[in-house]
């Protein structure tokens, strides 16, 4: 049966223990005071103002790294039961340390927050912080901090009911301290003895208590030596040796008296009274309890509940149940609702009522005692279940890690086997590796050469496409020579209305120099006309694209006489337009002379060949538009604008490339198609667009198909 310790014992013992860096697990294992709600470990803490913290704790002259004053303030508030104030002090310590604090400060703040969670009964959260502190100490190889953290971890595990894990943690702390030749082995030995005592291993518990006692006596710590003697006395009483227990407890009392420790003496008097009652010596039990009560009055302290309990038992056994009843009620009135001493006091209250013959009150007190004990068990069960949940989650993570580690071991074993095989065939393996390296390098070289050749071929193809597109254009020198030999006024326009060539007669009618060296070629004809004439020219060009029939209109150039114009296609398939001009006179208008079209005779072939040619043109134009849209993400209107091959007009407020759209359908294809412009469009996309290889090959196939027809019938 575990030793019965209550809140006063816990507060006194833990304060001393925290200063030394260890948690007294026996004193804390059964602490069940009502605590505030536990916050998650990773919950953000409130940032404190460093200046306000200095003013609050009178730290005006303290250095940024000097945090001991704040640590002492936190310890004082915690020992006084002000847990929130202790948390505020730690927040101030963190603010004063700042972001540039080193790992020792981080370690101490994490560990102290864990101790605070331990006091708040947030044991799982405390355990998480203790393990973080342990990780920091291990990473920086601080053996003293590591031993302290292992001890804290063991205390938290013991409270959670994981005695095996707690024992392993305490043994790890002991091992680290011994490796570091730390002389302060007493606390951890005492904790190990407590664990063995909880596990029912009396032999190991007594052996470690004796070792702890020797360590405390060696360093002259009389208080802790007396504490160990008290634990040995309780162990002897549990083993059925009240005489030996009384002897050990009296030795512990002498140690407390010599060390001037009054708080522990109160609990020890309760233990001595309990031993006397175990020996059926109620008189001696009363004597010990009265001495303890007198000591509490002299110290101005409230008598602890166990001392009140033993005094009440002694009074009842000596025939004073009413006095015992009053004492128990007084003790219960001063206890918190969740104090661990409450069930025993309620049970004594039931016995007192029974001794007085008050059976209903005795039954009610007994029921309340059972309820209080049940609540304590449930609280302990909740803690253990929470810990089991954490252990399960940790076990799942460990299982995953173990599976990965096993897989890594298998891979490592396989790697070792392969390494052994490689050593057995070292010469051949080296040769094979060298061969693979040479092969890989040659393959890379061939790939680079192939890529360079592909880029060179692509550059040659682009240059060829551009030259081919230029060759398909109108030979301006040839046209200019042909036009200059004519007497009538003639201009050659492209699909956009720009002057490609003009003879001198046309230049004179338009008020320009004309000729090969004149100002007309290269200019837009609409710039030389007034607004109505330019609109008439645009309408005529649009109608010509729709019907391919000659278009007539009249206009007056700027500073010139009124002229009659006739638009017609050249008949060469290159998309050029012949514009014939003559002054508007009655006799000229009646005769309606028109310049002869500039044509080059060609063999059109039979009707089947002509249909195939027209179908090939439509397929090429469709392939051009598709390749353009896939490579650039733009539409056919942008193709017409950027290539400057097809005319863009405004139709009902919308821009349209009507001429190009006629080449996307066999039904709309002109009678005499401008196959040169179709080929130029294909060459433009091949030269200017980043095409995929499959798309480029398909487009080139359609271009070759059209070229086959043109070459077969000498159209080029």
39-72: pLDDT as tens digits: 777 766 666 777 777 667 666 555 545 678 888 8
pLDDT at 87: 86
Are 116 and 89 a contacting pair, CB within 8 Å? no
Quote the CA–CA distance of 165 and 124 in Å, as a whole number: 14
Maximum distance among all Cα pairs of the chain, rounded to whole angstroms: 158
Q: Which residue has the tokens 């060949």?
A: 609
Are 353 and 362 a contacting pair, CB within 8 Å? yes
Are 163 and 147 a contacting pair, CB within 8 Å? no
The sheet carrying 563-569 orders its strands as 499-502, 489-493, 577-583, 563-569, 551-555
Mean pLDDT of 592-613: 57
How far does the chain reach from its first CA to its final CA, in angstroms?
Answer: 113
pLDDT at 37: 57
Residue 331 pLDDT class (50, 70, 90 cuts):
confident
The vertex-372 CA angle with 371 and 374, nearest 5°, equals: 60
Q: How many CA atoms lie within 13 A of 685 on its CB side?
A: 34
Strands (E), 386-503: 489-493, 499-502
DSSP state at residue 525: G
160's tokens: 């959670």
Mean pLDDT of 289-302: 86
Does position 531 have pLDDT exceeding 90, yes or no?
no
Does position 478 have pLDDT exceeding 80, yes or no?
no
pLDDT at 599: 43
Residue partners of 527: CB distance under 8 A and separation at least 6? none
Residue partners of 552: CB distance under 8 A and separation at least 6? 540, 564, 565, 566, 567
Quote the CA–CA distance of 462 and 440 in Å, as a whole number: 32
Lowest mean pLDDT among 4-13, 338-347, 659-668: 4-13
Does position 482 have pLDDT exceeding 50, yes or no?
yes
pLDDT at 586: 41
Quote the CA–CA distance of 344 and 116 in Å, as a whole number: 28
Quote the CA–CA distance of 337 and 278 in Å, as a whole number: 28
DSSP state at residue 668: T
pLDDT at 661: 83
Residue partners of 440: CB distance under 8 A and separation at least 6? none
What SS3 class is residue 492?
A: strand
Are 190 and 49 a contacting pair, CB within 8 Å? no
Residue 114 pLDDT class (50, 70, 90 cuts):
very high
Does position 363 have pLDDT exceeding 90, yes or no?
yes
Burial class (CB in 10 A: 0-12, 13-18, 19+), 535: middle
Quote the CA–CA distance of 470 and 263 in Å, as a whole number: 109
Are 508 and 514 a contacting pair, CB within 8 Å? yes
Rg of the chain taking only CA atoms, in angstroms: 53
From the list 689, 687, 674, the residue with the least C-alpha distance to 660 is 674
Does position 135 have pLDDT exceeding 50, yes or no?
yes
Mean pLDDT of 318-337: 87
DSSP state at residue 507: H
From the list 714, 608, 613, 597, the residue with the least C-alpha distance to 663 is 613
635's tokens: 């539409």
Residue 597 pLDDT class (50, 70, 90 cuts):
very low
Residue 455 pLDDT class (50, 70, 90 cuts):
low
Does position 538 have pLDDT exceeding 50, yes or no?
yes
pLDDT at 111: 92
Q: Which residue has the tokens 């253990």?
A: 384
pTM of the model: 0.49
Mean pLDDT of 194-223: 88
Residue 458 pLDDT class (50, 70, 90 cuts):
low
Residue partners of 698: CB distance under 8 A and separation at least 6? 623, 627
């Amino acid at each position: 049966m575990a030793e019965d310790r209550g809140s006063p014992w816990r507060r006194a013992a833990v304060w001393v223990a925290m200063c030394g860096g260890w948690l007294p697990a026996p004193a804390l294992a059964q602490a069940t005071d009502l605590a505030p709600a536990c916050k998650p470990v990773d919950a953000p803490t409130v940032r404190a103002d460093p200046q306000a913290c200095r003013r609050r704790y009178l730290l005006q002259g303290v250095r940024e790294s000097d945090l001991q004053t704040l640590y002492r303030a936190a310890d004082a508030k915690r020992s006084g039961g002000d847990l929130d104030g202790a948390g505020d002090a730690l927040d101030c310590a963190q603010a004063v340390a700042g972001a540039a604090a080193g790992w020792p400060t981080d370690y101490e703040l994490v560990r102290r927050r864990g101790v605070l969670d331990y006091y708040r009964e947030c044991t799982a959260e405390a355990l998480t912080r203790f393990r973080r502190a342990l990780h920091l100490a291990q990473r920086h190889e601080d053996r003293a901090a590591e031993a302290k953290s292992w001890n804290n971890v063991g205390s938290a595990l013991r409270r959670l009911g994981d005695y095996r894990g707690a024992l392993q943690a305490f043994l790890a702390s002991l091992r680290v301290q011994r490796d570091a030749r730390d002389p302060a082995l007493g606390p951890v030995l005492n904790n190990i003895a407590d664990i063995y005592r909880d596990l029912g291993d009396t032999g190991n518990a007594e052996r470690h208590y004796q070792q702890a006692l020797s360590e405390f006596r060696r360093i002259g710590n009389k208080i802790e030596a007396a504490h160990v003697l008290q634990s040995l006395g309780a162990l002897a009483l549990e083993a059925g040796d009240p005489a030996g227990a009384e002897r050990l407890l009296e030795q512990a009392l002498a140690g407390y008296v010599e060390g001037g420790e009054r708080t522990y003496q109160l609990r020890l008097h309760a233990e001595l009274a309990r031993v006397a009652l175990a020996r059926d010596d109620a008189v001696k039990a009363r004597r010990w309890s009265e001495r303890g009560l007198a000591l509490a009055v002299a110290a101005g302290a409230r008598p602890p509940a166990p001392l009140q309990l033993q005094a009440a038992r002694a009074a009842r056994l000596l025939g004073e149940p009413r006095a015992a009843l009053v004492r128990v009620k007084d003790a219960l009135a001063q206890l918190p609702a969740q104090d661990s001493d409450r069930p025993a006091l309620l049970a004594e209250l039931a016995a007192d009522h029974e001794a007085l013959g008050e059976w209903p009150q005795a039954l009610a007190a007994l029921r309340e005692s059972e309820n209080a004990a049940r609540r304590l068990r449930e609280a302990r069960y909740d803690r253990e279940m929470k810990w089991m949940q954490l252990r399960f989650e940790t076990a799942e993570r460990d299982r995953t890690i173990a599976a990965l580690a096993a897989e890594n071991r298998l891979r490592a074993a396989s790697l070792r086997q392969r390494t052994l095989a490689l050593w057995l065939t070292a010469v051949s393996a080296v040769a094979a590796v060298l061969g693979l390296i040479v092969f890989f390098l040659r393959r890379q070289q061939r790939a680079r050469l192939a890529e360079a050749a592909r880029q060179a071929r692509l550059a040659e193809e682009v240059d060829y496409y551009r030259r081919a597109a230029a060759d398909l254009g109108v030979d301006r020198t040839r046209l200019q020579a042909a036009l200059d030999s004519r007497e009538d006024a003639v201009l050659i326009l492209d699909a956009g209305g720009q002057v490609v060539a003009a003879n001198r007669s046309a230049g004179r009618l338009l008020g320009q120099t004309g000729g090969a060296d004149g100002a007309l070629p290269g200019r837009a004809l609409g710039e030389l006309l007034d607004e109505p004439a330019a609109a008439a020219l645009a309408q005529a060009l649009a109608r010509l694209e729709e019907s391919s029939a000659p278009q007539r209109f009249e206009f007056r150039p700027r500073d010139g006489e009124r002229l009659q114009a006739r638009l017609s296609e050249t008949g060469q398939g290159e998309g050029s337009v012949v514009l014939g001009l003559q002054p508007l006179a009655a006799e000229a208008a009646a005769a309606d002379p028109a310049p002869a079209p500039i044509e080059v005779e060609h063999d059109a072939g039979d009707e089947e060949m002509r249909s195939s040619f027209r179908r090939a043109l439509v397929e090429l134009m469709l392939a051009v538009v598709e390749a353009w849209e896939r490579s650039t993400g733009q539409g056919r209107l942008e193709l017409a604008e950027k290539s400057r091959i097809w005319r863009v007009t405004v139709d009902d407020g919308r821009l349209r490339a009507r001429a190009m759209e006629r080449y996307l359908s066999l039904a709309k294809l002109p009678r005499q198609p401008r196959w040169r412009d179709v080929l130029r469009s294909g060459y433009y996309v091949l030269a200017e667009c980043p095409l995929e290889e499959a798309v480029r090959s398909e487009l080139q196939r359609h271009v070759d198909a059209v070229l086959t027809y043109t070459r077969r019938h000498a159209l080029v």
